[in-house]
């Protein structure tokens, strides 16, 4: 091993790296100290920073959280350390509710099992803005890590915000209506931090709720804990076996949501988000603007426009959505990967709340999800979405995106390209609003290909041609 320290870069949401390679106790101490230096620098005179620390169910997450607590204590901070793995949105909620200076969540979210990560939470209860993470990067190794034994982990302070978080979710959705619905609902936390959280809100009525993959498994059953089609085979199978209304899934740290319809088919966020927006705007009569990232659905924009709601478009990364939620009256902000923020909650993705909200939309419609989607397509147009992840070095992916941005082809896969958008990656737009996006991941060495088109065949043709071109 070389003497030079590992370079640490914060990506779309936090610093993530491979456990025991870059994500080590030494490097966690370096990041924790840099964050402590940042908070000390920003503190008002005489203010003692207060940091909430949480963790997910990954390998050694509780130990990395404990080490972070030692560094914060060594810097003279007050801390509140969760004693069990909990959903990221609960940590964000606790930061805001307790008036903490900031928060740390040890998680790599949906990344593969060999990764872990360090997410910084801002005082308002959401992901730290880029200015914060850049400042933390610049303070790396400015001072050697100061550590001290944690004598008071402050966990007793977290009992009240946890209870209030439960009350907030219970008051946000019509739980009585959900509990008194009939038929099975299958919940799949994918061995992640959501555990039995969703089920805990739904039990006690006529609704039958079953949670699968609820135990801690740091290997996540051999899949990445991301609620997308290739990782949801057990949920799809159980939905079909039980003739369930719907299958609901959350990712590794429970800030993202996924769904499987009553036929056992995975619903993409280009199905779920438009249906959720329609429910909030039409059924619940809620108002406000809508924020979509560049990989979100054409249908979300069409519904917003039909309902007279202003639309903002941002790069990928929930922090951009959260930034707008702090400044504007935002009804819903959503990204393709399952992160959804809603009005009247913290400016944060919340897989637990959004699972319940989507179930509320289904119960309100009185129809199975596949019929709801068919109705949506009849009213607003038919679009189908697909995504492929190609593993390659970051530099190679960035080079391809730059080439497409600067030398946009007139045709792609025999379809005429109308224009290219370069807000985040290279997004080719076609005449019928179909699109194809090439984007280098901000958190891992993956080039992502996304497409949404007016027919499944066209969407697949675009993705196939993109994949061939990249080879």
pLDDT (average), residues 135-141: 97
- Residue 242's CB: how many other CB atoms inside 10 A? 15
**Predicted pLDDT at 32:** 98
pLDDT tens digits for range 161-176? 999 999 999 999 999 9
Q: Which residues contact 125 (CB under 8 A, 6 or more apart)?
A: 92, 93, 95, 96, 97, 346, 347, 348
Domain residue limits, the chain:
15-164, 185-380, 384-470
Q: Is the pLDDT of residue 48 over 50?
A: yes
Fold match between domain 15-164 and domain 185-380: yes
pLDDT(2) > 60: no
pLDDT digits (tens, 9 = 90+) for 182-230: 999 999 999 999 999 999 999 999 999 999 999 999 999 999 999 999 9
Helices (H), 243-350: 269-278, 298-306, 318-327
Find the mean pLDDT for residues 9-22: 91
- Is the separation of the CB atoms in 215 and 234 below 8 Å? no
CA 99 to CA 410: how far, in whole Å?
Answer: 53
- Distance between CA atoms of residues 260 and 237, nearest Å: 10
Burial of residue 167 (CB within 10 Å: 0-12, 13-18, 19+) is: exposed
Non-local CB neighbours of 327 within 8 Å, separated by 6+ positions? none
Average pLDDT on 230-245 reads 98
15-164: CATH class? alpha beta
Average pLDDT over residues 398-426: 94
- Inform me whether the pLDDT recorded for 387 exceeds 60: yes
In this model, does residue 9 exceed pLDDT 80? yes
Is residue 100 within 8 Å of residue 50, measured between CB atoms?
A: yes
Dihedral angle over CA of 223, 190, 25, 88, nearest 10: 140
Distance (Å, whole) CA 25 – CA 62: 12
CATH number of 384-470: 3.30.310.50
pLDDT of residue 11: 83
Q: What is the arithmetic mean of pLDDT over 266-283?
A: 97
* pLDDT confidence of residue 3: 60
* Cα separation, 420 vs 422, whole angstroms: 7
Instruction: Give CA–CA dist 109/111, Å, rounded.
Output: 6
Give me the percent of the chain exceeding a pLDDT of 90: 91
Averaged confidence pLDDT in the chain: 95
**In the predicted model, is pLDDT for residue 470 greater than 90?**
no
Triad 349, 187, 372: Cα angle to 5°: 75
Q: How far is Cα 54 from Cα 86, in angstroms, rounded to an integer? A: 7
pLDDT band at 399 (very low <50, low <70, confident <90, very high): very high
Cα(331)–Cα(303) distance, rounded to whole angstroms? 13
Q: HSE of 265 in the Cβ direction (CA atoms, 13 Å)? A: 10
Taking each helix axis as running N to C, give the angle between helix 130-138 and helix 25-42, from 0 to 180 degrees, rounded to the nearest 10.
Answer: 110
Q: What is the pLDDT of residue 411?
A: 94
CATH number of 185-380: 3.40.120.10
pLDDT of residue 443: 62
pLDDT (tens digit, 9 = 90+) per residue, 55-101? 999 999 999 999 999 999 999 999 999 999 999 999 999 999 999 99
Kindly report, residue by residue over 101-118, the tens digit of the pLDDT: 999 999 999 999 999 999
pLDDT tens by residue, 352-378:
999 999 999 999 999 999 999 999 999
3-state secondary structure of 325: helix
Query: What's residue 442's pLDDT?
Result: 64
Say what the pLDDT of residue 1 is: 42
pLDDT of 49 above 80: yes
């Amino acid at each position: 091993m070389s003497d030079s320290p590992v370079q640490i870069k914060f990506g779309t949401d936090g610093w993530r790296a491979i456990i025991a390679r870059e994500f080590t106790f030494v490097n966690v101490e370096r990041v924790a100290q840099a964050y402590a230096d940042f908070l000390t620098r920003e503190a008002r005179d005489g203010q003692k920073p207060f940091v909430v620390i949480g963790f997910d169910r990954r390998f050694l997450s509780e130990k990395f959280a404990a080490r972070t607590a030692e560094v914060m204590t060594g810097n003279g901070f007050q801390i509140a350390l969760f004693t069990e793995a909990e959903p990221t949105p609960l940590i964000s909620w606790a930061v805001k509710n307790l008036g903490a200076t900031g928060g740390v969540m040890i998680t790599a979210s949906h990344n593969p099992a060999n990764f872990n990560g360090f997410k910084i939470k801002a005082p308002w209860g959401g992901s730290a803005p880029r200015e914060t993470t850049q400042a933390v990067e610049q303070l790396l190794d400015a001072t050697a890590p100061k550590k001290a034994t944690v004598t008071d982990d402050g966990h007793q302070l977290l009992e009240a915000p946890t209870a209030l978080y439960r009350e907030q979710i219970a008051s946000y959705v019509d739980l009585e209506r959900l509990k008194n619905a009939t038929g099975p609902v299958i919940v799949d936390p994918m061995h992640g931090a959501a555990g039995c959280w969703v089920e805990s809100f739904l039990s006690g009525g006529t609704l039958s709720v079953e949670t699968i993959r609820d135990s801690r498994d740091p290997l996540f059953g051999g899949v990445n804990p991301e609620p997308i089609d290739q990782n949801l085979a057990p949920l799809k199978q159980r939905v079909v076996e039980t003739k369930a209304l719907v299958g609901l899934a959350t990712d590794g740290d429970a800030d993202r949501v996924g769904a499987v319809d009553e036929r056992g088919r995975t619903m993409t966020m280009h199905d779920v988000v438009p249906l959720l927006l329609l429910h909030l705007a039409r059924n619940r009569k809620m108002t406000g603007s809508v924020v979509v990232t560049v990989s979100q659905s054409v249908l979300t924009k069409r519904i917003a426009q039909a309902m007279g709601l202003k639309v903002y478009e941002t790069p990928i990364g929930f922090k951009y959505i959260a930034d707008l939620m702090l400044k504007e009256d935002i009804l819903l902000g959503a990204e393709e990967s399952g992160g959804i923020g809603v009005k009247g909650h913290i400016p944060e993705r919340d897989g637990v709340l959004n699972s319940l909200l989507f179930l509320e939309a289904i119960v309100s419609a009185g129809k199975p999800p596949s019929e709801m989607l068919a109705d949506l397509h009849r009213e607003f147009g038919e679009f189908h979405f697909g995504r492929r992840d190609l593993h390659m070095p970051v530099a190679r992916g960035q080079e391809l995106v730059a080439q497409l941005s600067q030398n946009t082809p007139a045709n792609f896969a025999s379809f005429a390209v109308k224009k290219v958008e370069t807000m985040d990656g290279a997004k080719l737009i076609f005449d019928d609003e179909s699109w194809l996006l090439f984007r280098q991941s901000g958190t891992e060495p993956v080039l992502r290909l996304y497409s949404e088109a007016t027919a499944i065949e066209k969407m697949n043709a675009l993705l196939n041609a993109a994949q061939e071109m990249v080879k």
